[in-house]
Structure 1
């Protein structure tokens, strides 16, 4: 173990980065599966095998009915919805790491069912359903594991790597599809689907060599292992673990939180109580997950190839790659934005930005036929790219960060599952009904998404609390403070600190063992059981 760098005066170890990146392979699996289906739907052999053809053997005469296309795309989301709900008890029972390994195996079973399909489209759709079970469970476990293991000073960045890898998976799927489309016969789409085996193998095997969540270990009374897990994330040598101030303070916070939680029976019903705004938090993050889908991003990712084909683009595969590259590249900016500007401001600004460009996209496509007017088609592509730019830097990573850091330890897995299930429910609804809606209102669909983006920004302003720079235990305290309001929450700090900045300064001073600017004696800080110093 070694210290990689210091953030706000506190050490961050190499292991913290390694485990966040490896766990993010769960996001890559989801992204790859999302990206591949758009191109597979227009591959010649796939159309011949599973579509309806007016002239047998001629792919140009083949197509999918809106119901069949919606089910092939959308059944994955039904699986992910169920998977997100079973992911909570699985992660609590097996631990975060073993749960992820089991979920990778589930995904691989679905891939086998898909690539062994010959002419029955229902089998392919069922394979996506089963793969979805694994993806959904991973989508609940991964952000939770990342948030529980990451140092609070870079928790936003490390949790956002989940979304970064989703975008990377989408881009890789587009690139592999364009390379595989000319393979003769079923090899074209089977290659794209079959490569999916690689990603769960990396995650399912590699995660076993990573530390378990210290909060999960603490909840199960394994305090020595929890210390070592925290030390790995901080880059603290084993010889210094017992006497290290930061490790002892964080363990004490977790221990007290766990003891409190043990005194309170926690079940699914506890996600909907009024105590410490539990119901409020469950509904808030579930609503934000819904609006992440209603931004309209998956309209382009699921049906992008079909959309740009209707715009008159000669090679829609290339356009997909451009969108995917913009999405992936801009997510790096999202890591910086979410860590630098917190959670509230990026989501509000992002909602407005995305709304503007969706309005341009819809207005241009409605004013003139883009298939006949090339300038309109180019404007629509540019506006789609600018929309993706804003989405990738704000709503895409931001909502997944909030899933990991908003809930208390005792119900985090369950509330993360409920809120993530909301994402997958709306994912399915959009995937299934989009063909019907587009056939009825064409590009005016963009106006609907534009309105949803504005609504999401308003909800963030009035209801979301600012959780950046706080430990997970302090976030729980903030939501339980009746005097803290969402629009003033950026200034909130735990008892014993004058402000959020004072909290950061005291952490720096504690690490370097220097007198504090606020005049609090160093000796007092070293008393880890002092309530005033809880972070």
Structure 2
């Protein structure tokens, strides 16, 4: 098999990259469904069929003769979010029961059913809205399962980058939806919007077929007493063959670390349920509330204000072709997400999120102030300034809060409750997604562009929350992240310098990785059992035999 490349001395197999790309099709589905509705709401045939029209309305004059009520447009847009909310909560038990991969296959099937309901709509707008609700069930469940699967399976050295591909594919999906919409808007009849919606069936097919060829999450396999399969899964992402894996210290040490963590949870943590996500022990409640807060604040940045209603917004500032403006925003969003992946990998999580919150707030203040000071339709310069401010806002969002929050959802929670906590956090995202999607038309009618001041304030709040409550989890294994949150000496603002027991610094983790690549033995320690060490329920260094009987040190390491 062989490694594709090395990071910090650790081999990275091509499977790591491929599984991230295939799983991220779940994000593409999410983005495509998000991006399409903004333009569909303006298509003449869609207006003629589902909006309120005056007598004599035709395809030629539908844009001026037909309009949606705030309630109707809000429901058509927002019912997707209701479905995603329910899907996100269902995603945890499905992923825990079926495994991460098979859960995605089932969720893709649900999404396809929703698409079929939408494209078979003729005159009843409620059917189209219900179709989006059903599709939302699949999107929501995928939004919980995909980042979790990527975080649990990817090597820690590139976990941030690979998990961020989920957000990259969301932006790619939005951009592709915009491009297809501008290409089909000239089609006669319902094919103008049915084509856009119907093409959406292709994406879940790609995901559901491709994911079956990828390894299952090693943490899920260990938790279900399948260590042999877990070892193979770890070996594959590092480019190590199954035969080599049994005698290779890197996958065995990683497997032992996961086994140690799972064994500890079985001994000292009660059988997990939804209530366990709200227990204060081991900072589980702290992390549940933190994850829910960060996901809520990601919605409150105001990004979906532009993605859901961008075409309508830019039409209102006097732009002659709002479809083109949407593509510009989508391209900025997609292109800058590449930068976001690099930033999150190089500079960690806390710093970029704090700076991003301040940057986004600044440009939203400019957007809102410009739109409030003068009427954009009568002042072309003001309209252009607002577009520039919106693009610069999207630039900051795409490079910080967009990928960063999805990365954190995959790596912040302990193994035993990770699926449920990820579902709760993602559900909070969808709650705010629905509220914003449904109430935005009413709010815009009431306060117009002053809406931007609300989002600007929320961005500042997000920067404050990150500074005081979020721990720096970059370059650490998921098990080490759990230890960091439970170290009473570690505070969020000092967490960037924290390292697990047995390491002098996070730089030392890199050296251990290089030693593993050189096939150097890790020094075993005497105690071979998982030990309870007191109130904080953390573990001491111990050793667990690998599948070949050799001992491996249990100092957490980023492999």
Q: TM-score, normalised by structure 2?
A: 0.93
1:82 aligns with 2:86: yes
Shift of 1:57: 2.3
- Aligned residue in 1 for 2:433: 427
1:465 aligns with 2:481: no
1:71 aligns with 2:59: no
Shift of 1:329: 0.3
1:160 aligns with 2:164: yes
**Counterparts of 2:184 and 2:308 in 1: how far apart (Å)?**
18
Does the 8 Å contact 2:32/2:170 carry over to 1?
Answer: yes
**Counterparts of 1:83 and 1:223 in 2: how far apart (Å)?**
30
Does the 8 Å contact 2:278/2:284 carry over to 1?
Answer: yes
Question: Whose helix proportion is higher, 1 or 2?
Answer: 1
Shift of 1:355: 0.3
Name which of 265, 274, 278 aligns with 1:268: 274
1:401 aligns with 2:407: yes
Structure 1: which 4+ aligned runs deviate by more than 3 Å?
Answer: 521-535
- Aligned residue in 2 for 1:24: 24
Pairs within 5 Å for 1:135-534: 135-263=139-267, 264=269, 265-513=271-519, 523-524=523-524, 528-532=551-555
SS of the residue 2:516 aligns to: helix
Shift of 1:534: 5.6
Aligned residue pair count:
529
- Aligned residue in 1 for 2:44: 44
Q: Which runs of 5+ in 2 are unaligned?
A: 526-542, 544-549
Shift of 1:511: 2.4
Deviations 1:172-200 (A, max 9, x none): 00000000000001110000000011000
Does the 8 Å contact 2:85/2:431 carry over to 1?
Answer: yes
- Aligned residue in 2 for 1:518: none
Shift of 1:261: 2.0
Relative distance call for 1:321 and 1:299 in structure 2 (3 A) is same
SS of the residue 2:417 aligns to: helix
Shift of 1:531: 4.3
**Counterparts of 2:361 and 2:383 in 1: how far apart (Å)?**
19
1:112 aligns with 2:116: yes
SS of the residue 1:81 aligns to: helix
Deviations 1:461-504 (A, max 9, x none): 00000000000000001111111100000011111111111222
Shift of 1:268: 0.9
**Counterparts of 1:198 and 1:2 in 2: how far apart (Å)?**
32
**Counterparts of 1:534 and 1:260 in 2: how far apart (Å)?**
17
Alpha-carbon RMSD across the aligned residues, in angstroms, is 1.3
SS of the residue 1:497 aligns to: coil
**Counterparts of 1:334 and 1:57 in 2: how far apart (Å)?**
46
Does the 8 Å contact 1:73/1:432 carry over to 2?
Answer: yes
Relative distance call for 1:533 and 1:172 in structure 2 (3 A) is closer
Does the 8 Å contact 1:513/1:522 carry over to 2?
Answer: no
SS of the residue 1:11 aligns to: strand
Q: TM-score, normalised by structure 1?
A: 0.97
- Aligned residue in 2 for 1:54: 54
**Counterparts of 1:11 and 1:55 in 2: how far apart (Å)?**
68
Deviations 1:412-468 (A, max 9, x none): 100000000000000000000000000000000000000000000000000000000
- Bigger shift: residues 258-267 or 381-390: 258-267
Shift of 1:256: 1.1
Relative distance call for 1:442 and 1:224 in structure 2 (3 A) is same
Shift of 1:387: 0.3
Does the 8 Å contact 2:312/2:322 carry over to 1?
Answer: yes
- Aligned residue in 1 for 2:540: none
Deviations 1:503-522 (A, max 9, x none): 222222332256xxxxxx95
